[in-house]
Structure 1
Amino acid sequence: MPFSGFDIVVVVLVILVLLVIFAGIKTVPQGSNWTVERFGRYTRTLSPGLNLIVPFIDRIGAKLNMMEQVLDVPTQEVITRDNAIVAVDGVAFYQVLVAAQAAYQVSDLNNALLNLTMTNIRSVMGSMDLDELLSNREAINERLLRIVDEAGKPWGIKVTRVEIKDINPPANLVESMARQMMAERNKRAQILDAEGLKQAQVLEAEGRKEAAFRDAEARERSAEAEARATQVVSEAIAKGDVQAINYFVAQKYTDALAKIGSSSNNKVVLLPIEASALIGSLGGIGAIAKEVFGGESPAQNTRGANRPPVVRPRDDA
């Protein structure tokens, strides 16, 4: 059956209605926001899901990714405060919070944020010495984050992180730094050796001091004992006891003779004939001891146990 003109008009109208409906339906994916412009002016923002706009009057302006994004900062050369040239690269993370500001407050958001980050990297790192630059990377990241985030607020974005990936000084500078580190370590080792030697010398000196003190104390006590014995003999002589001085002198002679006889090189001792009078003094010592102890003299008790060395009188004439 042939179509009449009315049927053709109805079909065309249905097709146009369907086209208008499909033109007004917009499906925004999750993680995105779309801006709507009416006659070229921003009116509203479409959130994820099914949205309706006025066909042929409204149109989609900008499609923005609302998820956190990564911005790779390419390698660039930075001159530090002490005129060292280093190659630096990094990475920045940001997220769009207000779609309208990101779409209409800045042209080419990624390029603007990249140049802003690179400029601040040169500014921040250029104000530091090389040693400070290499040892304070966290402080650099924190400072860059604060500056870039503050500058990006009018664009409706939030900079969540700025990280410096690599800092590469020139090869000759790295070699110089290695020599400097080796010299510093050698210096520390020498200081430790000197400290150890100093401590050892101090301890040794303290040991000698203590030994000298004890030797002096021993000599002092020996002198006190000698003085006490001399005092006792002196008091006995003062009382008229002549045998006391004979005992004292004979004891000195005996000690001297014992030292001479104890020598390993002299088994036969030649003395002047006058020295034989010392043997006669031994009888006096025995008598004194007998009076003191009231019995047999110590010489008789030890007779045969410790014989004196052979003494042969020698005529000096």
Structure 2
Amino acid sequence: MQILDIFGIVVVVFAVILLFSVIKIVPQGREFTVERFGKYTKTLSPGISLLTPFVERIGRRMNMMEQVLDVPQQEVITKDNAMVKVDAIVFIQVMSASAAAYRVEDLPYAITQLCSTNLRTVIGSMELDEVLFQRDSINSRLLTVIDAATEPWGVKVNRIEIKDLTPPVDITNAMARQMKAERERRAVITEADGEKQAAIARAEGAKQSAILEAEGRREAAFRDAEAREREAEAEAKATAMVSQAIAAGDVNAINYFIAQKYVEAFAELARSPQQRTVIVPAEMSGLVGTLAGVGELVGLAREQQTRTPPTAPQPQRTAAPRTPPTRPAGGGSVPRT
């Protein structure tokens, strides 16, 4: 009885083991290769699959998702003999599980070494300035070369990126000085351009100011000339009127002319910058009175001529001039006649 029980337990355990060896579940994003007596026969896709017991077995479990491989840092000599340290990252994806499993021994290691060698080749054919400023070109060249090399392995290289690129310390210092000098040059150029624009603006402002000032002087001169012209016309009319009055025998016109010239001369004397003290002559009123007397004499003469017939001329009577009242020595206002 005990032997039968032991045999039954062994049969159950064997059945369970057989069941697990026959039924295979492949997760999403993975593919399994199947080998029959060590030879590749097929590839299992994600899902459940059945194998032939004792004949078929799982060979390689391949990751079909995109993977990221890190290319270690290495020193590379450029075309102009400059030593730079560079590392990169590469994005790959297995497209054929059988090719990736059976055509290369260690796929990640193989791709890493391939990237390292091609990185040295590409950077070694370029000068330092090109390496520093043409990373996109380096990435494109590496992608083209490595993708073509990994195609027989069933691997697709999607992207390659230069992660870090470090030039030597002395070159870094020289680049820093160059950058500083370039920025100082740009600052000087910008400052000079600003001064140039400011000078142009100031010159333009001075030009406009000079133009406006010249226009103002021209307008003022035109107005002054017009004023002088009108003043001359008025003076001419006044002179004509006075001349007509004198011709008509009006002595007051002569008195007006002489008094006006006398007042103008006295005003010019008072406005003289060298004249600190103005002395008003005491004979001013006497002068005006004398003019009035002269006027009266002329008037009496005219009346005598009109009353006396022309056939019997009478001796002319001389009228004594009327002496106007005199002013104190200190001067004063001039009486009107």
TM-score by length of 2: 0.60
In structure 2, the residue corresponding to 1:120 is in which secondary structure? helix
**Rounded Cα–Cα distance in structure 1 between residues aligned with 2:216 and 2:268:** 20
Name the counterpart of 1:95. Answer: 93
Of 18, 22, 27, which residue of structure 2 is paired with 1:25?
22
Retained in 1: the 8 A contact 2:43–2:97? Answer: yes
Report the residue type matching 1:187 in the other structure: R
Alpha-carbon shift at residue 124 of structure 1 (Å): 4.1
Percent identical across equivalent pairs? 45
Q: Which residue of 1 aligns with 2:164?
A: 166
Report the alpha carbon displacement of residue 235 of structure 1 after superposing the two structures with TM.
4.8
Q: Displacement, 1:205?
A: 1.2
Aligned mates of 2:266, 2:22 — CA distance in 1: 137
Decide whether the 8 Å contact of 1:24 with 1:55 is kept in 2: yes
- In the alignment, which residue of structure 1 is the partner of 2:75? 77
From the two aligned structures, give the one with the greater strand fraction: 1
What does residue range 266-285 of structure 1 map to in structure 2 within 5 Å? 268=276
> 1:75 deviation in Å?
0.8
The answer to whether residue 194 in structure 2 is matched with residue 186 in structure 1 is no
Q: Once the two structures are superposed, what CA deviation does each residue of 1:122-151 show, in whole Å capped at 9, x if it has no partner?
A: 344445554454455456445544543344
For 2:216 and 2:196, how far apart are their aligned partners in 1? 30
* 8 Å contact from structure 1 (residues 28, 34) kept in 2: no
Give the equivalent residue in structure 1 for 2:108: 110
Q: Unaligned 5+ residue runs, structure 2?
A: 244-256, 289-337
Partner of 1:211: 209
> Could you report, residue by residue, the CA deviation over 1:34-60 in whole angstroms, capped at 9, with x for unpaired residues?
322335542111345554434554454
- For residue 122 of structure 1, give the secondary structure of its aligned residue in structure 2: helix
Output the amino acid matched with 2:191. Answer: D
Counterpart code for 1:155:
W
Partner SS, residue 100 of structure 2: helix
Given that 1:95 and 1:160 are in contact with CA atoms closer than 8 Å, whether structure 2 keeps it comes out as yes
Deviates more, 1:138-147 or 1:181-190: 138-147
| Aligned residues of 1:121 and 1:144 also touching (Cα < 8 A) | yes
1:179 to 1:251, Cα distance in 2 relative to 1, 3 A: farther
Q: Which string of whole-angstrom CA distances, capped at 9 and with x for unpartnered residues, describes residues 230-263 of structure 1?
A: 4345556767927899989x87995796472xxx
Q: Could you say if the C-alpha distance between residues 238 and 111 of structure 1 is closer, same or farther in structure 2, counting changes exceeding 3 Å? A: same
Structure 2: distance between partners of 1:256 and 1:108: 123
Please show how residues 278-293 of structure 1 align to structure 2 within 5 Å.
none
Amino acid at match of 2:176: A
Matched, 1:34 2:42: no
User: 5 Å matches for 1:227-266?
Assistant: 227-232=225-230, 235=233, 241=239, 258=271, 260=273
CA distance 1:206–1:29, shift in 2 (3 Å): same
What's the offset of the Cα at 1:168?
Answer: 0.8
Matched with 2:51 is: 53
Deviations 1:135-184 (A, max 9, x none): 55456445544543344333222334323221111111110111011101
Counterpart of 2:42 in structure 1 is: 44
Q: 1:77 to 1:26 in 2, by over 3 A?
A: farther
Q: Shift in Å at residue 121 of structure 1? A: 2.7
Q: Which runs of 5+ in 1 are unaligned?
A: 261-265, 284-317
* CA shift for structure 1 position 88: 0.6
Partner of 1:186: helix, strand, or coil? helix
1:221 counterpart (205, 219, 224): 219
Aligned mates of 1:85, 1:252 — CA distance in 2: 102
For the Cα contact (< 8 Å) 1:23–1:55, is it kept in 2? no
Q: Say what the alpha-carbon RMSD is for the aligned residues.
A: 4.5
| In 1, Cα distance between equivalents of 2:151 and 2:226 | 101
The 5 Å alignment of 1:6-21 reads 21=18
Q: Structure 2 counterpart of 1:268, which letter?
A: R
Q: What is the TM-score when the length of structure 1 is the normalising length? A: 0.64
| Contact 1:87–1:169 under 8 Å retained in 2 | yes
**Shift in alpha-carbon separation, 1:174–1:269, aligned structure 2, 3 A:** farther
